[in-house]
Amino acid sequence: MRVLLTGATGLLGFELLKLLISEGHEARCLVRTDSPNVSRLDGEGAEILRGDAADEEALCRALRGADALLHVAGIEYAPSVVGAARRAGLERLVVVGSTSAHSSFEFRSAPKKRMEGVVRASGLDWTIVRPTMIYGSERDKNVHRLLRFLDRSPVFPIFGPGTNLWQPVYHEDCARGVYEALVRPAAAGRSYDLPGASPLPYATLVETAARALGREPRLVRLSLGPIRRALLLAETLRLPLPIKSEQVLRLREDKAYPHDEARRDLDYAPRPFERGVALEVARLREVGLVKPKIL
């Protein structure tokens, strides 16, 4: 298959690029002209075209001769992606969304649902895949930071009781799920959640990550109420903040999802967090981002 891939320089897209090539497909990557990460694609055997996923014309040009579009760069670009795919007479479109489409917080779910609607109404041979939080290397923006913090600090603050559920997915497992969604005809016209193997309470996730590093931090539970009130006050005063008060509320929300449909149609079988995080620790040690193992 000749596949146009967006987001190839990112965490998930890069794994997908490697999978496409290793499975014998032709990959063409659409990369922003100002991407600081284009050199990551050197030597991977893909054709590189410059352009933005928000630019329907650029997408349309990039789609010439392609059989499928694997859009990883963000479901917010669905209007230009769908517009270009229709104009190009494309046969197959796979779009990566997010399980935050299931959030009970409208500010998270409504934009994702709206964009999913654009894909569903496209009239194309579409599939939507929704990862949970993706982890698995120094490129992830969450577990990698958690591990580096745990590596340095004997104390770890937990906002709230730490009982809310998380189900992060290892980047290679997520990529395999997305890839199978692209190549299996049964996936056309369907949406799939792609979470990790099973849900974990947040405190257990932190303890599991710490164990993988060989550390035993003291978990200090901080009440969410005062933090949220302080953030609300700061927002009223228009102070710049790293996190919104709504996001603090969302920390209480369970992010656990079954994956029966992906297992049935895609043979989706993600690894447990304990195994994935051990691999990530090994990788971070290899690149010197966490301390060597104490023997």
Ligand X SMILES: NC(=O)c1ccc[n+]([C@@H]2O[C@H](COP(=O)([O-])OP(=O)(O)OC[C@H]3O[C@@H](n4cnc5c(N)ncnc54)[C@H](OP(=O)(O)O)[C@@H]3O)[C@@H](O)[C@H]2O)c1
Stretch that binds ligand X, among 50-58, 120-128, 221-229, 242-250 (CB under 6 A): 50-58
Stretch that binds ligand X, among 2-10, 158-166, 204-212, 285-293 (CB under 6 A): 2-10
Residue 208 touches ligand X, criterion: CB under 6 A: no
State phi, psi for 135 to the nearest 5 degrees.
-135, 170
Site residues for ligand X, 120-139, by CB under 6 A, read 131, 133-134
Tell which phi-psi region holds residue 156, choosing left (phi > 0), alpha (psi between -120 and 50) or beta. beta
- Report the side by side order of strands in the sheet with 126-131: 47-50, 26-31, 2-6, 68-71, 92-96, 126-131, 190-194
Residue 290 touches ligand X, criterion: CB under 6 A: no
Residue 199 touches ligand X, criterion: CB under 6 A: no
Q: Which residue is nearest to ligand X (CB)?
A: 10
Residue 158 touches ligand X, criterion: CB under 6 A: no
Residue 13 touches ligand X, criterion: CB under 6 A: yes
- Considering only 98, 164, 167, 191, the residue that binds ligand X (CB under 6 A) is 98
Tell which phi-psi region holds residue 238, choosing left (phi > 0), alpha (psi between -120 and 50) or beta. left
- Kindly state the number of chain residues that form the binding site for ligand X, as judged by CB under 6 A: 24
Identity at 286, one-letter amino acid code: E
Residue 48 touches ligand X, criterion: CB under 6 A: no
What distance in Å separates the CA atoms of residue 212 and residue 143, rounded to the nearest whole number? 12
Residue 180: strand, helix, or coil: helix
Q: Measured from the CB atom, is 215 or 268 closer to ligand X? A: 268
Q: What angle do CA 144, 148, 152 make, to 5 degrees?
A: 170
Q: Which residues contact 12 (CB under 8 A, 6 or more apart)?
A: 72, 96, 131, 134, 171, 174, 175, 178
Residue 247 touches ligand X, criterion: CB under 6 A: no
Closest approach, Cβ 13 to ligand X, in A, equals: 5
What size, in residues, is the chain? 295
Residue 11 touches ligand X, criterion: CB under 6 A: yes
Closest approach, Cβ 242 to ligand X, in A, equals: 17
What residues line the site for ligand X (CB under 6 A)?
6-13, 30, 32, 35, 37, 52-54, 72-75, 96, 98, 131, 133-134
